[in-house]
C-alpha cells in the first residue's frame, strides 16, 4: 500500500514540507504529490513522533457513527417537521405564519434569519421546522440516505383539493415511512370545501380520523392565522406517539440542512443535530469536508455555545462547503477528521471514474477520443416515463456543462429502453439512463454484449449527481 506525501502529512496533521525535508535528509528528492511506500511512510511517521497504525480502507469510517445508545441515556427530543404540498397551496405562508407567531424568543434584538430550519415553542415544547417547503429538499436528503424528518405536514388548499404535487408529496412521505398530518389550508376562502379534500385524500389512501382512519387533519388558514395552535398541538401529539428520543450526553451527530460559501464568513453550514450535543470547539466531518466549530448561531442570529438534539444551528468553521444532506459527525481530533475526509474524497474520485467507464472496457477509448477532439463531451442516452421528466433531466444535465466538459444527449425519449437505444449508445460508447423505466430483455442482452452500462434512477437528483461525478472524472482522470 502506498500513499502520497500530501496524504501522509494530512493524516499526521503535519506540514507536507516537513515530510519532504525529512525525506531529503535521507537522500530522497520527492515532491508533494509523489507516492511513497508504506514502509517509508511508517518510518517517516515514527521519526516525526507519531504512533503508526496501519488501517485498511474500510476501517477508516469504523465507529464514526456510533452504535445505538442505551435506553436509559435517551431523553425525548423535539420533532422535526417538513411541510409539503402542491404549489400555491400555502406552504411558505404556513411556515411564515408559524414562525412569526411562535418562534422561540431569542435575546432582545435578535433578527430572524433564514438558516434552513427554525424552532417554535408550543406549551413549553419545542418543534423544529425545516424551512424549505416542498419535496425537493426532502428527496435530496433521502437520496443521500439521511433521514431528517419525523413528521410531514401535507398542505392541501381547501379550494383546490388534491393536485399532482400533493400526490407526489404523499408518495415521498410514504416511501420514507414518515407519518403525515394533513393541514387543510385556506379555510377562510368562501370557496373552501374541506370535506372534498378529505374525500380526495381517501382516493390516495390517506384516511383522516373523521372518515374512520388514523391520519390527523387540521383545518387552518395561514393567511388569517386560524387554528395554528391546534396544528402545533397535533404535531406534539403525533410526536408523543412516535416517542422521539435521543441521547444528549454524547458526541454529536447530525445532518447538513443547507450550506453555502459566505463572502465574509467562509463556509457556512446549517446543521440539524440528531444525537448528542454539538459544542463550540468540536471537530466535525460532514461528507468530504471537515472543520472545527468556531461559532454557532441560531435562527435569531444569536450565538449559542451548545446545540442539543433537534436543534438547527448555523456552524462556522468548516474548511470547505459541505453539501445539503451530508451526515455530520464529531470526531476526537484533527488527524482523525483529515483521515476520514481524505478517504471520502478518494472514494468520490473512484466512484467518478467507475461511472465514467460506463461503457466497460471502453473508457480509454472514450478518453482518447475526447482528448483528440480537443473538447470533452459526455455522451448519454436518456429514457424516461413521461415527457416532463425527460425534459427536466435533459435541462438539468445541460446546465452541468462547463467550458471543459459537457453532457451530450444523443437521445432523450419517452418509453422503456429498447435494443435500438442500445445500438445508438454503442455508437458513442454512451451509458443509458432509465428514469422510472426499465430495459426489455433484448436491450439487456445487447447491452451486456456491447458493454454498455444501463443505469436506473427514480430520483432526478441522484441521476444528476452521478453524472456530475462522472463528468468531474473526465475533468481530472485518475492515473
Binding of ligand GDP at residue 132 (CB under 6 A)? no
C-alpha 246/C-alpha 348 separation (Å) is: 31
Position among 163, 223, 370, 414 found at the interface with ligand GDP (CB under 6 A): 223
Has 132 been labeled as part of a binding site?
yes
Return the range that interacts with ligand GDP (CB under 6 A); candidates 24-32, 60-68, 173-181, 221-229. Answer: 221-229
Has 133 been labeled as part of a binding site?
yes
- The stretches of 327-430 forming alpha helices (DSSP H) are 334-356, 363-373, 387-400, 419-428
Return the range that interacts with ligand GDP (CB under 6 A); candidates 84-92, 248-256, 275-283, 434-442. Answer: 84-92
Binding of ligand GDP at residue 383 (CB under 6 A)? no
Binding of ligand GDP at residue 225 (CB under 6 A)? no
The pattern of x and - marking residues 327 through 356 that bind ligand GDP according to CB under 6 A reads: ------------------------------
Position among 10, 40, 93, 277 found at the interface with ligand GDP (CB under 6 A): 93
Binding of ligand GDP at residue 165 (CB under 6 A)? no
294-298: long-range contacts, CB 8 A cutoff, minimum separation 24: 297/113, 297/115, 298/106, 298/115
Binding of ligand GDP at residue 133 (CB under 6 A)? yes
C-alpha 227/C-alpha 474 separation (Å) is: 55
Q: Map residue 96 onto helix, strand or coil.
A: helix
Binding of ligand GDP at residue 189 (CB under 6 A)? yes
455 in the Ramachandran plot: left (φ > 0), alpha (ψ -120 to 50) or beta? beta
Q: Which residues pair with 295 in a beta bridge?
A: 316
Q: How many other C-beta atoms are found inside a 10 Å radius of the C-beta of residue 452? A: 25
Binding of ligand GDP at residue 87 (CB under 6 A)? yes
Binding of ligand GDP at residue 406 (CB under 6 A)? no
Cβ-contact 91, 45 below 8 angstroms: no
| All three cell numbers of 381 | 442516452
Binding of ligand GDP at residue 99 (CB under 6 A)? no
- Min dist CB 269 to ligand GDP, Å, is 25
| Residue pointed to by grid coordinates 465574509 | 264
| Residue pointed to by grid coordinates 435569531 | 300
DSSP string, 341-354: HHHHHHHHHHHHHH
Q: Map residue 139 onto helix, strand or coil.
A: helix
Binding of ligand GDP at residue 136 (CB under 6 A)? no
Binding of ligand GDP at residue 89 (CB under 6 A)? yes
Return the range that interacts with ligand GDP (CB under 6 A); candidates 3-11, 83-91, 137-145, 279-287. Answer: 83-91
Has 207 been labeled as part of a binding site?
no
CA geometry: angle 153, 157, 161, nearest 5 deg:
105
The residue ranges that bind ligand GDP (CB under 6 A) are 85, 87-93, 133, 185-186, 188-189, 221-223
What residues form the annotated binding site for GTP? Answer: 85-92, 131-135, 185-188
What residues form the annotated binding site? Answer: 85-92, 131-135, 185-188
Amino acid at each position: 500500500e502506498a500513499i502520497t506525501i500530501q496524504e501522509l502529512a494530512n493524516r499526521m496533521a503535519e506540514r507536507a514540507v516537513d515530510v519532504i525535508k525529512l525525506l531529503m535528509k535521507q537522500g530522497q528528492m520527492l515532491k508533494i504529490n509523489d507516492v511513497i511506500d508504506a514502509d517509508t511512510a511508517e518510518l517517516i511517521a515514527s521519526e516525526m513522533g507519531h504512533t503508526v497504525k496501519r488501517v485498511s480502507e474500510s476501517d477508516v469510517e469504523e465507529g464514526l457513527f456510533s452504535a445505538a445508545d442505551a435506553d436509559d441515556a435517551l431523553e425525548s427530543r423535539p420533532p422535526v417537521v417538513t411541510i409539503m404540498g402542491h404549489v400555491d397551496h400555502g406552504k411558505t405562508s404556513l411556515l411564515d405564519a408559524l414562525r412569526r407567531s411562535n418562534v422561540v424568543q431569542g435575546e432582545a434584538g435578535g433578527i430572524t434569519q433564514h438558516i434552513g430550519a427554525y424552532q417554535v415553542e408550543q406549551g413549553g415544547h419545542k418543534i423544529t421546522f425545516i424551512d424549505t417547503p416542498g419535496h425537493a429538499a426532502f428527496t435530496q436528503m433521502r437520496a443521500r440516505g439521511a433521514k431528517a424528518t419525523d413528521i410531514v405536514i401535507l398542505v392541501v388548499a381547501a379550494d383546490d383539493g388534491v393536485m399532482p404535487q400533493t400526490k407526489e408529496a404523499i408518495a415521498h412521505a410514504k416511501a420514507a415511512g414518515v407519518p403525515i398530518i394533513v393541514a387543510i389550508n385556506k379555510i377562510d376562502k368562501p370557496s373552501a370545501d374541506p370535506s372534498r379534500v378529505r374525500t380526495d385524500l381517501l382516493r390516495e389512501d390517506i384516511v383522516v380520523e373523521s372518515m374512520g382512519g388514523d391520519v390527523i387533519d387540521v383545518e387552518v388558514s395561514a393567511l388569517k392565522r386560524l387554528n395554528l395552535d391546534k396544528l402545533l398541538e397535533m404535531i406534539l401529539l403525533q410526536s408523543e406517539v412516535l416517542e422521539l428520543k435521543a441521547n444528549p450526553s454524547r458526541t454529536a451527530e447530525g445532518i447538513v440542512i443547507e450550506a453555502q460559501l459566505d463572502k465574509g464568513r467562509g463556509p457556512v453550514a446549517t446543521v440539524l443535530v440528531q444525537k448528542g450535543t454539538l459544542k463550540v470547539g468540536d471537530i466535525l466531518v460532514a461528507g468530504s469536508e471537515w472543520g472545527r466549530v468556531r461559532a454557532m448561531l441560531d435562527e435569531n442570529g444569536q450565538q449559542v455555545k451548545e446545540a442539543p438534539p433537534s436543534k438547527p444551528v448555523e456552524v462556522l468553521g468548516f474548511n470547505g462547503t459541505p453539501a445539503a444532506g451530508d451526515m455530520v459527525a464529531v470526531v476526537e481530533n484533527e488527524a482523525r477528521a483529515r483521515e476520514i475526509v481524505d478517504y471520502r474524497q478518494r472514494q468520490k474520485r473512484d466512484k467518478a471514474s467507475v461511472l465514467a467507464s460506463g461503457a466497460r472496457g471502453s473508457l480509454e477509448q472514450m478518453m482518447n477520443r475526447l482528448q483528440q477532439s480537443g473538447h470533452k463531451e459526455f455522451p448519454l442516452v436518456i429514457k424516461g416515463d413521461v415527457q416532463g421528466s425527460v425534459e427536466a433531466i435533459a435541462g438539468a444535465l445541460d446546465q452541468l456543462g462547463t467550458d471543459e466538459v459537457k453532457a451530450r444527449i444523443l437521445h432523450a425519449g419517452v418509453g422503456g429502453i429498447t435494443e435500438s437505444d442500445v445500438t445508438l449508445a454503442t455508437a458513442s460508447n454512451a451509458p443509458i439512463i432509465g428514469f422510472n423505466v426499465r430495459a426489455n430483455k433484448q436491450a439487456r442482452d445487447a447491452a451486456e454484449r456491447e458493454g454498455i452500462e444501463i443505469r436506473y434512477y427514480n430520483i432526478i437528483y441522484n441521476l444528476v449527481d452521478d453524472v456530475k461525478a462522472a463528468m468531474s472524472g473526465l475533468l481530472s482522470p485518475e492515473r
